[in-house]
């Protein structure tokens, strides 16, 4: 008789499993990134993980690698062409337009979101095919103070996590008045370069995308290329200067980056990116900008808007690079150890009562010895252990052990919840 070999499955290439204890840090990152936005009046929105493929081809842009190379697409049995969302802004704007949020009250409509996004990229550390982001969008207002608000909220989020070794890159991409003049000048410049066919095709659709090409061979040829900043109209210059003035007045430093265009075609005017100095090639930990024409691109009314998305995965790596450990509470505050079946029944009821009172409590399950049970209590990180045997129950008490000092004291069963709540658990 031959032994059948068990098959094993692993996570798909470019993805990873999020497990304790790392998962607690990921949850904390999401919470702290979202917290400044919530305090600024942004409400939560959640959209489907797949959308009509045209939402992204029109909004994100056909010239982008995201649309041309990286989207996961599928065809339904009914023939609909769908795509797993590669980014969040287009989906959030679609949802806001579909629900007519822009007609229901004061503008801007402020929304924040969190979720997974999908791109078929060359998998490497910090660059995954499924990745996590927290984003914020302000829809329906054209105001440099709104741009500054969002940038400050993102900076506050990173600072709240204890990060310091990062920079804010800032640029302006102009608007529909001044960008066409720059576009013509850039096309003329690019025509004289030795570019490959794929890059030339991209330049024909959106020449600004060539500026974002990370290949050294392309960047070397871009030396001397016309800069958009030199072509900004007076209105865009004044807008950009006001954003910078507000950032400086509120203690947010930035670096001027005239080649910053980011990877999406919908950006106008303010464009920004946060880069971490300890992450190597995949240094961007978040970014965004103004997208005044996106609503019209996807069939909506004119709604000038601005937003950002910050990477949870990249932020986690940035914390590692800086050696920052978040101060997270233990998942379990109290760990109950029963000595015998009768004691287990009593402690089980107390565990349920404590949980309902808001105390994070666990119970030693399937443990046959007090020694192993106490090892489990220690590994849980609990501040206190509850220990009870037949003698304790006969006296109407349980033993409360402080896991840091080893001190053990009896506590009346009927006073247990009150006693633990008084210890601010």
Segment 35-60, tens digit of pLDDT:
999 999 999 999 999 999 999 888 67
CA–CA distance, 191 with 193 (Å, rounded to integer) = 6
Under 8 Å between Cβ of 145 and 246:
yes
Q: Per-residue pLDDT for 277 more than 70?
A: yes
DSSP-derived secondary structure letter, 3: P
- Enumerate residues 6+ apart whose C-beta is below 8 A from 2: none
DSSP string, 110-148: EEEEEEEEE-----BTTB-SEEEEEEEEEES---HHHHH
CA–CA–CA angle 368, 369, 373 (5° rounding): 95
pLDDT at 284 over 80: yes
Share of the chain above pLDDT 90, in %: 69
pLDDT over 80 (residue 65) = no
Section 85-99 average pLDDT? 96
DSSP 346-399: HHHHHHHHHHHTT--EEE--S--SHHHHHHHHHHHT-SEEEEE-HHHHHTTEEE
Which pLDDT belongs to residue 227?
87
- Position 7 scores a pLDDT of 61
- Two structure tokens written together for 210: 């060539």
Please give the residue that has the higher pLDDT: either 15 or 196: 15
What was the pLDDT predicted at 119? 92
Q: What is the model's pLDDT at position 382?
A: 94
Sorted by where each begins, the domain ranges of the chain are 22-178+232-322, 334-422
pLDDT in tens, 195-218: 888 888 777 777 887 887 778 888
Q: Which region among 64-68, 134-138, 146-150, 374-378 has the lowest average model confidence (pLDDT)?
A: 64-68
Count of CB atoms situated within 10 Å of the CB of 14 = 17
* Cβ atoms of residues 259 and 271 within 8 Å: no
Mean pLDDT of 57-75: 76
CA distance 399 to 382: 15
- CATH entry 3.40.50.800 includes domain 334-422: yes
Q: Give the CA-trace dihedral at 200, 205, 210, 214, to 10 degrees.
A: -90
Rounded mean pLDDT, 382-401:
93
Task: Examine the pLDDT at 4 and tell me if it is beyond 70.
Answer: no
**pTM score > 0.85 for this model?**
yes
> Are 283 and 273 a contacting pair, CB within 8 Å?
no
CA distance 248 to 189: 34
Q: Please report, in angstroms and rounded to a whole number, the separation of the first and last CA atoms in the chain.
A: 57
For the CA atoms of the chain, what is the radius of gyration? Answer: 27
Per-residue pLDDT, 423? 84
pLDDT at 164: 96
What is the pLDDT at residue 1? 41
Question: Tens of pLDDT along 218-234?
Answer: 888 888 888 888 999 99
pLDDT bucket at 122, cuts 50 / 70 / 90: confident
Find the mean pLDDT for residues 399-410.
94
| Residue located via tokens 């440099």 | 144
Alpha-carbon gap, residue 306 to 135, rounded angstroms = 11
Average pLDDT score over the chain = 91
What is the reported pLDDT for 62?
60
What per-residue confidence (pLDDT) applies to 263?
59
CATH topology assigned to domain 22-178+232-322: BirA Bifunctional Protein; domain 2 (3.30.930)
């Amino acid at each position: 008789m031959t032994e059948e070999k068990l098959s094993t499955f692993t996570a798909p290439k470019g993805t990873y499993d999020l497990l304790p204890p790392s998962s607690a840090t990921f949850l904390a990152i999401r919470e702290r990134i979202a917290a400044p936005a919530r305090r600024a009046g942004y409400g939560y929105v959640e959209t489907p993980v797949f959308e009509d493929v045209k939402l992204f081809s029109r909004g994100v842009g056909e010239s982008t690698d995201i649309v041309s190379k990286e989207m996961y697409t599928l065809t339904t049995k009914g023939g609909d062409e769908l795509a797993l969302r590669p980014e969040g802004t287009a989906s959030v704007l679609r949802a806001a337009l579909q629900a007519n949020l822009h007609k229901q009250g004061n503008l801007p409509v402020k929304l924040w979101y969190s979720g997974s996004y999908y791109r078929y990229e060359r998998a490497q550390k910090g660059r995954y095919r499924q990745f996590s982001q927290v984003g914020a969008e302000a829809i329906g207002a054209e105001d440099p103070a709104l741009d500054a608000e969002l940038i400050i909220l993102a900076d506050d989020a990173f600072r709240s996590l204890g990060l310091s070794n990062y920079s804010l890159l800032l640029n302006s991409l102009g608007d529909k008045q001044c960008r066409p003049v720059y576009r013509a000048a850039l096309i003329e410049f690019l025509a004289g370069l030795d570019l490959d066919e794929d890059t030339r095709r991209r330049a024909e659709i959106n020449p600004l995308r060539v500026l974002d090409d990370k290949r050294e061979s392309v960047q070397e040829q871009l030396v001397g290329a016309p800069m958009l900043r030199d072509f900004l109209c007076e209105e865009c210059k004044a807008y950009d200067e006001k954003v910078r003035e507000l950032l400086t007045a509120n203690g947010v430093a930035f670096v001027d980056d005239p080649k910053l265009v980011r990877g999406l075609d919908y950006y106008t005017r303010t464009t920004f990116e946060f880069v971490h100095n300890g992450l190597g090639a995949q240094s961007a930990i978040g970014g965004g900008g103004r997208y005044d024409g996106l609503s019209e691109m996807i069939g909506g009314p004119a709604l000038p808007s601005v937003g950002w998305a910050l990477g949870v995965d990249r932020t986690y790596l940035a914390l590692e690079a800086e050696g920052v450990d978040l101060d997270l509470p233990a998942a379990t505050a109290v760990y109950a150890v029963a000595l015998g079946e009768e004691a287990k029944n009593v402690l089980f009821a107390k565990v349920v009562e404590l949980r309902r009172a808001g105390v994070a409590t666990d119970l030693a399950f399937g443990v046959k010895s007090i020694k192993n049970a106490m090892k489990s209590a220690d590994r849980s990180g609990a501040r206190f252990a509850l220990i009870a045997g037949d003698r304790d129950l006969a006296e109407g008490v349980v033993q409360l052990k402080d896991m840091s000092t080893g001190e053990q004291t009896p506590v009346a069963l009927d006073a247990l919840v009150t006693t633990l709540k008084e210890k601010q658990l």
